[in-house]
Amino acid sequence: MNLHAMRAIYNFEMARTWRTITQSIISPVLSTALYFVVFGSAIGSRIAHVDGVSYGAFIVPGLIMLSVLTQSISNASFGIYFPKFTGTIYELLSAPISHLEIVLSYVGAAATKSVVIGLIILATAALFVPIHIEHPVWMFLFLVLTAVTFSLFGFIIGIWADGFEKLQLIPMLIVMPLTFLGGPFYSISMLPPLWQKLSMLNPSVYLISGFRWSFFGSSELHIGVSFSVTLVFFFVALWFATWIMRTGWRLKA
């Protein structure tokens, strides 16, 4: 494994984050803080508790997941799209580095940024409500697995897109609505039976439910189901991203 080349790509992507720290870190944290203030104040004043947890604390895992999902896709898609847009991707493809190593380098950098943002949001939320994490190891595992999985998904979008507008097409029209309907601000058990069944078709439900379990020790779905679905999504995305780099789909003229 060419660790030197992987480290070079990783460090380059991380350096870009610090050069645009306002857009990369400060902006999503402030946006999430606004979500917390608005939803925590407006809805929290009407819903005191959800499943025995104060509403302010209940929405914290959902807000973190909401930010991690969107930032993972954005970071990874922009990270790989710019080399393709400028043509430097051909130098990368001809370098002595495997396709899997290229994927891991870009995805690792994007996932690192998302995990950092998620932890900063967690610390910010602790200023508003008392937070107790029941299973911290599971919490961190879910956070990292979600960041890596959706960074892989963003990597695929970055390869697929042939214009800047397409980078935002799937995140805005598909991922964002599914995430909002995945229960970040409410419990799935509060929905009518029909909508509860339909919600099971939404993959973000399993991510948010599993992450919420790590905080409170209880959730709408069993932790094994949530973790298994997330793991399957991870392996599918990893295989597809590696296949794209190996075959040169949308990369080679």
Residue percentage of the chain with pLDDT more than 70: 93
Q: What is the C-alpha to C-alpha distance for residues 15 and 1, in angstroms, rounded to an integer?
A: 23
Map residue 64 onto helix, strand or coil.
Answer: helix
Neighbours of 170 (CB within 10 A): 18
Comparing C-alpha atoms, which of 235, 236, 248, 200 is closest to residue 220? 200
Residue with tokens 């892989």: 152
Q: Give pLDDT tens digits for 10-57.
A: 998 888 777 766 666 777 777 777 777 777 666 655 666 777 788 888
Tens place of pLDDT per residue across the chain (253 aa): 788 889 999 998 888 777 766 666 777 777 777 777 777 666 655 666 777 788 888 888 988 998 899 889 998 999 999 888 888 888 888 888 888 999 999 999 999 999 998 998 898 888 878 888 999 999 999 999 999 999 999 999 999 988 888 888 888 888 888 888 888 888 888 888 888 888 888 888 999 999 999 999 888 888 899 999 999 999 999 999 999 988 888 876 5
Q: Which residues contact 92 (CB under 8 A, 6 or more apart)?
A: 9, 83, 102
Buried-exposed string 200-237: b where 16+ CB fall within 10 A, e elsewhere: eebbbbbbbbbbbbbbbeebbbebeebbebbeebbeeb
Q: What is the pLDDT of residues 155-172, one digit of tens each?
A: 999 999 888 888 888 888
For residue 74, give the H/E element and its range: helix 55-86
Query: What is the pLDDT, as a whole number, of residue 136?
Result: 94
For residues 146 and 234, what is the distance between their CA atoms, to the nearest angstrom?
8
The token duo for 119 is 């932890």
Q: What is the mean pLDDT of the chain?
A: 86
